[in-house]
Chain A
């Protein structure tokens, strides 16, 4: 299986999903398009392009040739971002950044406790001071005032 064939198959499935999800939207007519007209048209276009890509995917590299050496780091970073999504307004900016950085620097990068904490504290409080206090960018404080 080539990489293009795999990705094109996913795109075709995505196009079908969009068409399915558009069923609640009024389509309108060819001459008077409704809110569902353009999304369905684009999804059909994506479907056609996806099928074309599947048909011409023979020369693409094999899926097994892709290297995923960085997947552990990538997963950890994505999990950190997910944590930030849920924590930033509940815990506040500084505490969220502090915990996220300790996780990444100590947990993922295996740095020492002292350097990890020093880095996390200075980044969390330093960036807050720069953006919130000096540049007046609104950032959440959280229930603990952090």
Chain B
């Protein structure tokens, strides 16, 4: 414990340096704006500023990008509550009760609880990250290729299992992503695979163009041309204070959302999105008045908003401790760290303590900055939405093209973004989830490498995956998840994910009406 406090002191000495503080502030402001704007999520925001971070030192760069990530979680709630427009996907659940509260004249308390819940969850989950990452990193030093292969396979199966829809469809998408990840030079033999003479594809398909295409561009394609609400209800500062009853109804959901979000955040996938869905369903189930959900229940704002903020910290645990990205955003952040010659993984904490603890401390500072920014300045941020959508989406499109092009200075990447945007549009029309595609793409090279290295280690014997206890446990959990997902077909029982889907179904209807 003393060592942790000493390290944290070291971290604060880094994070409170004026330049790092400035980048944390800039990241938070950009993140809030990114969160407010529909169609441009944290990934597109991070991609936009990724090239700008190349000139910074590693700590400032990672602090800037992390600020955008959790800033977007804060910003996304503002438009969900005031206009029923989820600025980014994790805020979809907040629309339901948040906007109902606005219609009933309680926009101020909804915004305040969202911001305070986000702050509490953000800060508490950093404690979790701080305490969990170092021992996990020490444990991960025992990992060899078989363990990494089992871990990555488990990650994909967990994501498929946790997805709200059909596990079969999610698995199809994950395999699709893995196949996309096969493009480029085979790292073990040097063979070019599926590159069709394009030099740019030699290193494989980048995460940024695929993710911006599948998430950002496909969103623009789906929403352009649709009528949008223009009415903005801006609460005054004095209206922000929640009543005593609202405080009482929010404490439990904030606590549960924090724990749930952090745990789900560690699991690979679009953790911040899934966590808000799970939190909403849990709160509705635990509530004494479930009928109030959908009609302005403050617990329906407090829980999901706390969960999605907590999940961002959770997502950093596997990224920092294992070097395994739990989704597209941590993957881009790993890429940013690698540009600076830093490899995240079990040795990062011991070899780069200033970076790790500086990053942790900057998150405490960032969450405080966001709380200060989000409450009094909420009126300023929502003004962005006064821009008519026929002007807003072309501007977002420009930022998508700019962000994707700037990462490698390659027009081929813009082409990949266009193709994956069209693909994402089609997939979403046909009710497929796109997150597993991106995760598959990210994990494919690591999975293939660890699979083939494992076989090389064992002279071609597949028994290596079951002879090593850690790998065996992870594979057993993966198989158990597969069996659990098949079980409802065999015993004709509605499983918990479908019950969650019922809670989420209301959200889907809300989304359609946006």
Contact = CB atoms under 8 A, between A and B. Distances in A.
A66 B411 CA distance: 33
A123 B421 CA distance: 22
A81 B391 contact: no
A139 B221 contact: no
A74 B399 contact: no
Contacts of B393: 77
A62 to B, nearest CB: 12
A88 interface: yes
A70 B401 contact: no
A35 interface: yes
A21 B194 contact: yes
A88 B175 contact: no
Contacts of B179: 18, 39, 42-43, 46
A53 B167 CA distance: 11
B362 to A, nearest CB: 20
B231 to A, nearest CB: 21
Interface residues of B, number: 61
Contact of A127 (B169, B402, B452): B402
Contacts of B80: none
Nearest to A45: B175
B388 to A, nearest CB: 9
B221 A70 contact: yes
A105 interface: yes
Contact of A131 (B186, B406, B414): B406
Interface residues of A, number: 66
Contacts of B390: 105, 109, 111
A138 interface: yes
Given A70-B225, A81-B418, A35 B411 contact: no
A95 interface: no
B418 A131 contact: no
A3 B429 CA distance: 9
**B409, B414, B461 pick with most chain A CB within 10 angstroms:** B414
A119 B220 CA distance: 19
A77 B168 contact: no
B175 A127 contact: no
A33 B455 contact: yes
23 contacts: A3-B430, A7-B432, A25-B191, A26-B189, A33-B452, A39-B182, A43-B179, A49-B172, A69-B225, A73-B221, A74-B225, A77-B220, A77-B393, A78-B418, A80-B397, A81-B421, A88-B401, A100-B394, A111-B390, A111-B391, A119-B394, A131-B406, A139-B406
